[in-house]
Structure 1
Amino acid sequence: MKLQMTVIPVLAFGFLAAGCGGSDADLQLPSLGSGGAAGSGGAIESAGGSGGAGGSGGMNGSGGSGGVGGMGGVPAPGVLPVLVIDTQGNTIVEEVKVDAMMYVVENHDGTLKNIEVAPRTFDGPIGIEIRGSTSSGFPKKSYGVEIRDAVGQDTDAPLLGLPAESDWVFYGPYSDKTYMRNKLAYDLGRAMKRYQPRSRYAELILDGAYRGVYLVIEKIKRGLHRVPIAKVATDAVAGDITGGYIFKREAGSAQGGWFSAAGTPWQFHYPQAADILPQQTNYLKGYVDDFETMMAGPQFSDPATGYKEWLDVPSFIDFAIVQELSKNVDGYRKSAYFHKDADSDGGKLHMGPLWDFNIAFGNADYCGGAPTAGFIYLANACVDMQQIPAWWKRLMMDPAFTKELRCRWESLRAGAFSDGAMLAMLDEYRKATKEAEVRDHETWKVIGTKLWPNDYVGQTYEDELTYLKTWITERAAWLDANMPGTCP
């Protein structure tokens, strides 16, 4: 198959120019097309894999050719595709997507001055909203985007070489001044050969204003190219109500979900709270209560009735490894996703996909997030923070679990999680974003400024990147010496 040219995206939401190196007159953009999801500039065959947890497609995460975890293709340095969005006078708000138009340019000269003559790989209507909890308060916003057809219904379309879907996240790195922490976590997770969100860097332009470097991320949802679980029955009487489900542990509130009998806040994700049927709600609540009771009970490690009968253990191990390597202060307590197969597909409870690492990898000045020593699953002495579920500590006390954990860690350290491999990933991210980083940090003057919750404040971008590189190698070395378990 033909491969798409691996330039990195510019997200353009209408266009123009703070810190772009040109005047408004230099940056004249054509009006947005009125067509549907098809690109007006001719289709470019996607380099993104169409199956399963396919490769991350190189450091720009453009997909891969199928299978799981491969890393083919490297972006042209410094050239990011452009997404141009025009809200047509609508104000973007939280939780309700407003109508807008978007076109995408992936092959251009990198100056952001000649977008109008470049072919488009997407041209059509979208819905857009502000997203994020803490991040929604940052000046540089993140957005949820839904691809729509000509009559306003959601429709699947490939975006930036990624497999076709309707729902996307345009994440705007702000307090993570390297732009790398989320992408690194997702790509490390994909190297473990299981589904994690694919992502690509881009620059964003919104209603005539340059908005900087963004990361386009697959939204977590059920689907052929996303979380591979069965579609839950829409008829709860005739159908199978045992799965599939996606739900998450979220801090502090059961809005859109429930509190379990153990007092844990959970939120529905698939089906959403507005769509889940009463019988499905009752089943899932009962299942979670039974799971937490088992984990708190004296037989939790029993081979026949304990956690091994309930959990897809390798997914829990991989989740823990990424949380511990990144020392993610939120990792076990919020944005912690689970998915459950239908009983006819095995019925196991899986951890993941991974989500939200912008304050990980040494970027948090609280809850023990900055020092490279110490386990984050034990970090419960944190003010105003939801407690980490006690069953993580129980799992870490079980010799069978820690043996698998240790062996998995050692295997990964010999490959994708070696110092050399991880530093090479960071170098490729830097190569991909180097030119755009200058524009971004001329627009958002955050270098040298302490933002919530930075522990380290570098005086240059290179300072920030050096800190991240040093932190991750020191953290991995500490885990080499302290990861629990013995691998024969």
Structure 2
Amino acid sequence: MRKRTVAWLTLAAAVVVSGAAQLTFGKMQTRIHQHREAAPAYNPETALNCIRETETSKYQYDENAVDVDQLSTHLPLVIIETDEEIPGVPYYDDDPSHRKMTLTSSGEEFLVANMKIINQDDKLNTPQDPPSLKTQIRIRVRGNTSRWFDKQSFAIKTIHHNGENKKVSMMGMEADHDWALHGPFLDKTLMRNYVAMNLAGELMDYAPDVRFCEVVINGEYRGVYVMMETVSTGKGRIEIEKPNKTRNVTGYIVELDNDTQPDPLSEAKNFTKYTQILRKNAFFDIRYPKNEALTLPLKDYIERDLSRFEKALYSFDYDTQRYGYKNFIDVDEFVDYFILMEVFVQHDTGNLSTFFYKDVNGKFKPVVWDFNNSLGNVSESSDDDYLIRQFVSVQAPWFTMLIKDEDFIHQVIYRYRQLRAGILSDERVSAYIQEVVDYLGPAVDRNFAVWGYSFDPGNLDKRNKLSPEEKNPRSYEAAVKQFHDAYLERLAWLDENIEVLKQYCHESAVKKYNH
């Protein structure tokens, strides 16, 4: 097994902070980075190669390319056993305007299955080793566009034998019952969510925790995955007050979603819905409390509470001390979120995967989710400049008003310059990517022994590839270089253009919003 390196990152890797050292520039949070914490349990030059010898140096698709009985990995190993096909696979029937999802044989959205995780600190993990976690789960295919990918992602809920939710710790993450098992497919680097979530976790009060793993389902090797915390409540996640039945108040989580047929129970009728700045079919979806706990009085309270802030934000007094938006949001969190969205060119901001949360007596905060399409990894245009050379969050709901405040823009610019001198410096960005490449090691070969056919876009339908075809990398090394270069090019563009944000708060642009 050859050692995976990317030559153009070698020099930058030399500046990496060794071991498990935490970055402490400016306002920083404590964050566990799996690849830094993990013991060096393998030597990539001598690790057992379980890829069958019929494989050539060029990745070829072979669902049996990895011999599971001989599998030996330094990554945590997730093994799932089911009695039937996992539901949640999308399809269209006679109505092509609305997709449907497959159900279990008994008509359920989730399938009950068994899962075990083998995660040993001091040696490689094999399917024959005793599990560190063994539990029943409920599982279905998850995602929006990613539901169509050949390599599926899954929603997982850990349960007791009686079906009740069961909080468990996954690979050292905080115990909970709600998890996302993300299968990178369109992202050939395998690392976009891992890299971006960990950066967000350094900066913001909360960002979902993540861990690389390898997955086997019903004896079939499925490749490298990322186990992720979901945007949900609980210890170590979003800690907010539970619904109060007597006062009809609660902390809550909302998501900007996009659906032609939203659930009327959870769809919020808040003020922003009537401002005409939401994209087509976009709406605020109440994600917590869940539907079973979301009474009509609680929903009414959430809608009114959201609207109270939004009316201040969209009013002539939006930037005043007494009546303005700063009384309702954690400005520092919104500044960091705005910067993250711009750095990673998150076109979905304000349309999909955009979450906000608020405790009863707290202020609104944003939380990141889903960087799979970041930094141009999306079907948009053959012109890379279109993907990179623009601000992507300035038309998003809420942010379209925040950027009209001179104080907010000045704080964004100052914070960005601060981060560029530290955690977002070219040297640290390059070194971090190289660390992850080195950590994944032979797991990359195993993953693409199965999914390597995706490097030839001619093998894929339009849902499983970028458009136009020349945007699709032809190798893992090309994918990592593409990601690395786009990351640094975006930062260089922001260096030159961050001050341009001042145009949005200039008197000529905001005159009609002020007294």
Fold in common (TM above 0.5): yes
Task: Report the TM-score, using the length of structure 1 for normalisation.
Answer: 0.77
- Tell me, yes or no, if the aligned pair for 2:380 and 2:467 is still in contact at 8 Å: no
Question: Counterparts in 2 of 1:314-393, with a 5 A limit?
Answer: 314-343=332-361, 347-352=362-367, 354-366=368-380, 371-378=387-394, 388-389=396-397, 391-393=398-400
- Tell me, yes or no, if the aligned pair for 1:88 and 1:100 is still in contact at 8 Å: yes
- Cα deviation per residue 1:351-375 (whole Å; 9 max; x = unaligned)? 11x0011111121232788632210
Q: Which has the higher contact order (CA 8 A, sep 6+)?
A: 2
| Mapped pair 1:217 → 2:192 | no
Q: Give the alignment partner of residue 188 of structure 1, picking from 183, 199, 208.
A: 199
Using the alignment, how far apart are the partners of 2:87 and 2:124 within structure 1? 28
Q: Give the alignment partner of residue 270 of structure 2, picking from 252, 260, 266.
A: 260
Q: Give the alignment partner of residue 446 of structure 2, picking from 439, 446, 459.
A: 439
Change (3 A) 1:196 1:462: same
- Cα offset for 1:59? 4.2
| Mapped pair 1:57 → 2:75 | no
SS of residue paired to 1:250:
strand
- Cα offset for 1:54? 6.7
- Tell me, yes or no, if the aligned pair for 2:137 and 2:159 is still in contact at 8 Å: yes
- Cα offset for 1:178? 0.6
Aligned CA-pair RMSD: 2.6
Which AA in structure 2 matches 1:417? L
Name the structure 1 match of 2:483.
468
Using the alignment, how far apart are the partners of 1:97 and 1:432 within structure 2? 33
| Mapped pair 1:407 → 2:414 | yes
Name the structure 1 match of 2:153.
142
- Tell me, yes or no, if the aligned pair for 2:41 and 2:124 is still in contact at 8 Å: no
Using the alignment, how far apart are the partners of 1:96 and 1:109 within structure 2? 39
| Mapped pair 1:430 → 2:448 | no
Task: Report the TM-score, using the length of structure 2 for normalisation.
Answer: 0.74
Name the structure 1 match of 2:55.
none
Using the alignment, how far apart are the partners of 2:39 and 2:340 within structure 1? 24
- Cα offset for 1:152? 2.1
Change (3 A) 1:364 1:405: same
SS of residue paired to 2:154:
strand
Identity of aligned residues (%): 27
Q: 321-330 or 257-266: which moved more?
A: 257-266
Change (3 A) 1:103 1:469: same
SS of residue paired to 2:285:
strand
- Cα offset for 1:314? 1.0
- Cα offset for 1:240? 5.8
Using the alignment, how far apart are the partners of 1:460 and 1:90 within structure 2? 31
Aligned residues: 407
SS of residue paired to 1:371:
helix
SS of residue paired to 1:338:
strand
- Cα offset for 1:479? 0.9
Q: 468-477 or 146-155: which moved more?
A: 146-155
| Mapped pair 1:80 → 2:75 | yes
Q: Which runs of 5+ in 2 are unaligned?
A: 1-19, 23-27, 43-72, 89-100, 102-107, 503-515
- Cα offset for 1:151? 2.0
Using the alignment, how far apart are the partners of 2:235 and 2:29 within structure 1? 11
SS of residue paired to 1:158:
coil
Using the alignment, how far apart are the partners of 1:156 and 1:304 within structure 2? 43
Change (3 A) 1:191 1:277: same
- Tell me, yes or no, if the aligned pair for 1:125 and 1:148 is still in contact at 8 Å: yes
More helix by share: 2
SS of residue paired to 2:479:
helix
Change (3 A) 1:258 1:193: closer
Using the alignment, how far apart are the partners of 2:467 and 2:212 within structure 1? 22
- Tell me, yes or no, if the aligned pair for 1:328 and 1:361 is still in contact at 8 Å: yes
Name the structure 2 match of 1:229.
240
- Tell me, yes or no, if the aligned pair for 2:465 and 2:472 is still in contact at 8 Å: no
| Mapped pair 1:458 → 2:464 | no
- Cα offset for 1:128? 0.9
Change (3 A) 1:74 1:404: farther
Change (3 A) 1:54 1:165: farther
Which AA in structure 2 matches 1:364? V
- Tell me, yes or no, if the aligned pair for 1:59 and 1:429 is still in contact at 8 Å: no
- Cα offset for 1:286? 1.5
